Amino acid sequence: MVQRSTLGDAMTPRLGSCVALAAILIMTAACSGGDSGSPASGDIWGTKTVAPAAFAQELESATGADKPVVVCVGPLVLYQLGHVPGAVFHGPASSADGLRDLTVWAQTLPRTTSLVIYCGCCPPADCPNLRPAYTALRDLGFKKLRVLMLDTNFNVDWAGRSLPVQK
CATH number assigned to the domain comprising residue 18: 3.40.250.10
| Residue 166: inside a domain | no
Considering its fold, how many domains does the chain have in total?
1
Q: 3-state DSSP: the chain helix, strand, coil percent, rounded to 5?
A: 45, 10, 45
Q: How far is CA 19 from CA 24, 77, 133, in A?
A: 9, 11, 28
Give the model's pLDDT for residue 38: 37
| Residue 1: inside a domain | no
**pTM here?**
0.78
Do 105 and 135 meet the contact criterion of CB atoms below 8 Å apart? no
| Residue 78: inside a domain | yes
Q: Which strands sit side by side in the sheet containing 115-118, from one edge to the other?
A: 49-50, 145-148, 115-118, 69-72, 88-89
* 137: phi then psi, degrees, rounded to nearest 5: -70, -40
Each residue's pLDDT tens digit in the chain (167 positions)? 433 334 344 444 444 433 443 444 444 444 444 333 333 446 899 999 999 999 999 999 999 988 999 999 999 999 999 999 999 999 999 999 999 999 999 999 999 999 999 999 999 999 999 999 999 999 999 999 999 999 999 999 999 999 999 99
| Residue 134: inside a domain | yes
Give the model's pLDDT for residue 150: 98
Q: Domain range holding 136?
A: 6-161
| Residue 152: inside a domain | yes
